[in-house]
A and B are shown apart, each in its own frame.
Chain A
Amino acid sequence: MDQLIATIVLGLFFGAPYALLALGIVLVYKGSRVFNFAQGEFGTVAAFAAYIANFWLPVLVAALVGILVGIAMGLGVERFVARPLANAPKVIMLVATAAVATGAIALQVGAGGGPQLRTFEPLVAGNAFVVFNVAIEWQRVLVMLALGLFALLLYLFFSRTDLGLAVMAASQEPVATDLVGIGTRRMSSLVWGMAGLLGGVTGVLFAGLQPFTPGVVTQSLLVFAFVAAVVGGMTSLPGAVIGGVVLGLVQSFSASYLTRVEVVAENLPNVEWLAVFVLLVAVLALRPSGLLGKEA
């Protein structure tokens, strides 16, 4: 019983960063029908900016600087990649965002003095609580709070505001969006700016969880965040949150229970990766539109 509760708590907290990154991915997909492979690097670039700013500035201010850099990067990718390619085939756009990610990682390695580990202080140090021998740091609680806050804000944005409606309209009918006077460019900047904000927050918080290297958010979170987004239905914000959390749970359950089976432990040391893959395949087979996606 103790182990069960500990596994659940761990799963929830380890799923939160996936969900936070997935929110940004879903936002961009919802707003411009683009698979944004640069979402992770909005995070790492923000983390590097915060790390550098932290040489001169207190940690909270440095984190804020990092987040602002994340927003700037989101806006920059919209202006110089997404907008010029707006009428190009979707696959070109996808490759272009992947190129942005690899370019950003190369820049971090080059300008940041190589791939060595760096540490950015947690915004709040120490453990928040301990459940059955599992310690949860304050920083993880912060990730969870950020997830809750942004999920709520985005929900309200899309369900309660005209601006949220306009963003959805722009993704569904760009020509008509201009014709009613909204202006698709401003909506596109808004979406990518918000995605930069979400990525930046993810990166700055994630960098405070453990030592980090160039490309860390892409490497540690991006694949899982994409799985979370797809499992959740790709256009559904609650779906992204649920997808991320389910992923965290699947990982923690397979890590703590499946590894007890001798065959598994001996042959599959990283069984939680396999479990994520099985989850993805199962969801795609049983419900191709995702848990909360609209029927295609």
Chain B
Amino acid sequence: MALLEVEELRAGYGSQPVLDGVSFEVEEGETAVLLGLNGAGKTTTVTNIVGVNTPWGGRVRFDGRDVTGMSPPELVRLGVCLVPEGRRTFPELTVYENLRLGAWTRRKDAAGIAASVELVFEYFPRLAERRDQAAGSMSGGEQQMLAIGRGLMAAPRLLLIDEASLGLSPLLAKTVFEVVDLINESGVTVILVEQNVGALRHADRALVMEKGTLVYRGVGDEIRDSTRLRETYLGKA
């Protein structure tokens, strides 16, 4: 059984449909990449999985359990955490306070929190240097690291990251993807929402989305040299 099963997911905004029956699975321990052009519906997919938006129809199952329409706090408690598009760090709080709040659902576990903070600082030494700086006064890249770090603080089993590399220099994007590899190696299942095909090198599974439906699904080595993937995604870019 897959860790995450999305079945015929339909969603939209107001009366405007966006997702027209999206189905895919992600196995425990994988890194999956969800690719697609602007407006394809990637963000809509992940916000409907984690409960920021409520799906119009279809099913979301996590670890065999139906979680369709649950609120984000409930899903965080179950181990599903989204690092949202646009970072959304708490601007007037310090780096450390942002991380602390990331661990809200396990705030009684002081030792666990301390260990997670250490781990995040190990992944992103820049954050350790800026521990007491207000998040809003940091650079975009630093805030991206903080947003990912804050997501990790929840000790999720499934971490979804919406556009981790957006606005980052190629070097910094590489660093972030390397950290994603480390996170994945530590046992966390990861879904990367990306426009950057460079992310494919770090993925076990690729999903390509176009106008609210999935037009390509691939796993393993096939995704790294698939001409079909290139045609469907890159060819039209």
Contacts and interface: CB of A to CB of B under 8 A. Distances in A.
**Category for how many chain B residues contact A:** 20 to 34
Interface in B151-176: 153-154
Contact of B71 (A166, A169, A173, A178): A178
A184 to B, nearest CB: 9
Interface string B103-128: 01101000000000000000000000
A296 B226 CA distance: 52
B191 interface: no
A176 interface: yes
A183 B93 contact: no
A180 B150 contact: yes
Contact of A181 (B76, B89, B93, B97): B76
Interface residues of A, number: 17
A179 interface: yes
A172 B92 contact: yes
A172 B90 contact: yes
Given A165-B93, A168-B90, A172-B92, A179 B82 contact: yes
B81 interface: yes
B48 to A, nearest CB: 14
A4 B25 CA distance: 78
Nearest to A166: B101
Interface in A146-186: 162, 165-166, 168-169, 172-173, 175-183
B88 A173 contact: yes
B72 A181 contact: yes
Contacts of A179: 50, 52, 72, 76, 81-82, 84, 88
Given A169-B101, A173-B91, A162 B72 contact: no
B77 interface: yes
Nearest to B99: A180
A180 B91 contact: no
B73 A168 contact: no
Contact of B101 (A175, A182, A183, A294): A182
Nearest to A172: B90
A128 B96 CA distance: 47
A177 B89 CA distance: 9
B73 A162 contact: no
A181 B70 CA distance: 12
Given A162-B100, A165-B100, A181-B154, 15 more contacts: A162-B107, A166-B104, A168-B92, A172-B92, A175-B52, A175-B84, A175-B88, A176-B88, A176-B89, A178-B72, A179-B76, A179-B81, A179-B82, A182-B73, A182-B101
27 contacts: A162-B100, A162-B107, A165-B100, A165-B101, A168-B90, A168-B93, A169-B90, A169-B93, A169-B101, A172-B92, A173-B89, A175-B84, A176-B84, A176-B90, A176-B150, A178-B71, A179-B52, A179-B82, A179-B88, A180-B76, A180-B101, A180-B102, A180-B154, A181-B73, A181-B105, A182-B101, A294-B92
Interface of A: 162, 165-166, 168-169, 172-173, 175-183, 294
